[in-house]
Structure 1
């Protein structure tokens, strides 16, 4: 699947969320090897729990609330990275040697994150610099967790593997990107 500005994320069939009208994401490789990402959530935002700048969350559990995520790997390699971005401006990175085999992540400067909310749309944009990414060809999974006011979660992705929601499954890394070597 090529990079595009508007790729529809699909809700996992086990977790429908009627308050979400649409959720789209996009990824664009930047000339310096970085990556520009954007997620746009449209719907009845008042029916969703959307952390704001005053809400501090445990960084390792951003995914337990409304959160936009990207999983990045290299074709043919088991290792991958997970980035979580909260609408409150917080972010977290996890490195994995293989499927859910977490390894220590080096400390890196924070990416640029901007959040805009207007009417029934929430947009979160991120710029990941080249040092956040492995060089060369990448496969990426653009995903989101949406929390409703009642605490129910829905899981959104470009592609869901069979079974329960699992963003870590390699099948979900459905977007091919070519990042130039710095």
Structure 2
């Protein structure tokens, strides 16, 4: 499971690590898991009914960025423990944002113990850009009002920006490809 790193300008309180990985994908579903260790003070948004919502990043949420190699455009997937979600298309870095049509809603579930939280998401593959992808995996973690920003990499040390192409470091091939 790849370890995410927190942005140096926003240290976590108790969270020790955040990991993210693809746990399965085929031509119908893409399944992703985030694991948070040190989750005793994790702020978890209450269930608010499935559906699209904006500004999920204002509290604990989990994100994917999918970009075709050599392309400027990319898709951003926001997933909340509240089961709210959204998917956006961008034509370039933070440019040309529009909601991406989805054939159905992603399925999300959060399990939390005293020290660990697991967030699983199943995203309809038909609503995502075609494979292969350069992928950014990230998380906003809120602990009692403090926020930390976790990603595979951070391009700018002064402020977190998950849209920075330097964060898109994970390569994902088409299902069944070597």
Q: Same fold by TM-score, threshold 0.5 exceeded?
A: yes
Q: Which runs of 4+ in 1 moved over 4 A?
A: 54-58
Q: Which runs of 5+ in 1 are unaligned?
A: 1-5
Q: Is the 8 A contact 2:30 2:122 kept in 1?
A: yes
Q: Which runs of 5+ in 2 are unaligned?
A: none
Q: How many residues matched?
A: 174
Give the equivalent residue in structure 1 for 2:63.
69
Give the TM-score of the pair, scaled to structure 1.
0.86
Q: CA–CA distance in 1 between the matches of 2:101 and 2:51?
A: 19
Give the TM-score of the pair, scaled to structure 2.
0.88
Task: Give deviations 1:112-152, integer Å, cap 9, x for gaps.
Answer: 21221122211111112221221221011100001121x22
* Residue 153 of structure 1, aligned match among 147, 150, 170: 147
Q: CA–CA distance in 2 between the matches of 1:13 and 1:80?
A: 25
Give the equivalent residue in structure 2 for 1:3.
none
Moved more, 64-73 or 53-62: 53-62
Alpha-carbon RMSD across the aligned residues, in angstroms, is 2.2
* Residue 173 of structure 1, aligned match among 153, 168, 173: 168
Q: CA–CA distance in 2 between the matches of 1:112 and 1:179?
A: 21
* Residue 78 of structure 1, aligned match among 64, 72, 82: 72
Q: Is the 8 A contact 2:49 2:84 kept in 1?
A: no
Q: Does 1:130 align with 2:125?
A: yes
Q: CA–CA distance in 2 between the matches of 1:29 and 1:122?
A: 19
Shift of 1:79: 0.7
Give the equivalent residue in structure 1 for 2:83.
89
Q: CA–CA distance in 1 between the matches of 2:90 and 2:143?
A: 29
Task: Give deviations 1:15-68, integer Å, cap 9, x for gaps.
Answer: 1113102211101452326321000112142x2322121599982110111111
Q: Does 1:20 align with 2:15?
A: yes
Q: Is the 8 A contact 2:61 2:141 kept in 1?
A: yes
